[in-house]
Amino acid sequence: MPLPYQWQWRIDKWRNALRNFFGLGGSSQPRPKLCPACGALVGINATKCHECGTSLRFSLAAVSKSLSGIFGEHESPVTTALLIANILMFGVSYLAASAAGRGGGLSILWGLGGEAQFRLGMSIPLPYLIATNEWWRLVTAMFLHGGLIHIGFNMMALMQLGPALEELYGSARYFFLYVVTGAFGFLASAATGHFSIGASGALLGLVGLMLAITSKRGGTYMRELRSRLISSVAILFVLGFMGMGIDNWAHGGGLAAGFALGKIFTDRQPMNSNERRTAYALGWLAGVVVIVSFVFMFLHFHDPFPGR
């Protein structure tokens, strides 16, 4: 059965992006291109931008441009990548829980905690973090979920909040803000003695960014949006105090970090080559932190489990 047109188009775009990223090129005639850092039109055979001096092959901007095409250059590539990463890690969590004898029955709905999640990078209380130096858990924990209900709600929130903020801040800065607010949320959770997982700390960070934006912009719509956001956050915290298995400290930490960063960062796309370079550097810094965190998780996966 043939694929729908939308998926054919998407697969062709991913294939072309991968071919370009690995230097395989295509069969079409070469065309002039835009500098990924400043947007200037450069020649077909140019290797360096004549306006800002950015390398068109090996700069952070050039590599970021190539990678963004894999996930849809104009379709919130970072949000799409985060969605895929969370779903993949949920699959890994389920397999690990099943191997440990905890994946049967309705546990897939909200019961994938325990040893498997600990080994995959669950956030742990601060004294243990300090004793073991496993700070990478503050990052890996935001890609883990306790069941289908948990990941379902979080990914719906991600797809509602993420694309608009990614378009507003630019993909690189958006990714940096997502990772920083999520990690700060788990730091707050760890400081109060909690074991925790989930993307909701980072998602509350996005809410904090939106609250900061509404506080800097006037108008009826901004006031109404701020009121709705505050009401939603208040309900979420009430549910947490009612013992619904919600980590209010991770939510509060992410929310506070997002609001503070929203006040610091300009709520618009980078406008010149210097701002773009800074944005790409922040995005790549966040990317390196995420990759290194998962490397440490794999290296420590078979460490003795504290409960034994």
Q: Which residues of the chain have pLDDT under 50?
A: 18, 20-28, 58, 70
Question: How far apart, in whole angstroms, are the C-alpha atoms of residue 282 and residue 254?
Answer: 18
Containing 274, the helix (H) or strand (E) segment is helix 273-299
The structure's pTM equals 0.79
Q: In this predicted model, what pLDDT tens digit does every residue of 39-83 receive, in sequence order?
A: 566 666 666 666 565 565 545 555 555 555 545 555 689 999 999
Distance of CA 193 to the CA centre of its chain: 25
- As a whole number of angstroms, the longest Cα–Cα distance in the chain is 63
The residue annotated as part of the active site, out of 251, 273, 293, 302, is 251
pLDDT of res. 103? 66
The residue annotated as part of the active site, out of 93, 189, 200, 293, is 200
Name beta bridge partners: 34.
41
Q: How far is CA 135 from CA 123, 184, 196, 268, 294, in A?
A: 9, 11, 14, 32, 11
| Burial status of residue 6 (CB atoms within 10 A of its CB: 0-12, 13-18, 19 or more) | exposed
194 noted as active-site residue: no
200 noted as active-site residue: yes
Q: Where are the domains of the chain?
A: 5-70, 77-299
Question: How far apart, in whole angstroms, are the C-alpha atoms of residue 234 and residue 229?
Answer: 9
* CATH superfamily entry for domain 77-299: Rhomboid-like (1.20.1540.10)
pLDDT of res. 234? 93
Neighbour tally for 178: CB within 10 Å: 30
pLDDT of res. 26? 46
Half-sphere exposure (Cβ direction) of 205: Cα atoms closer than 13 Å = 27
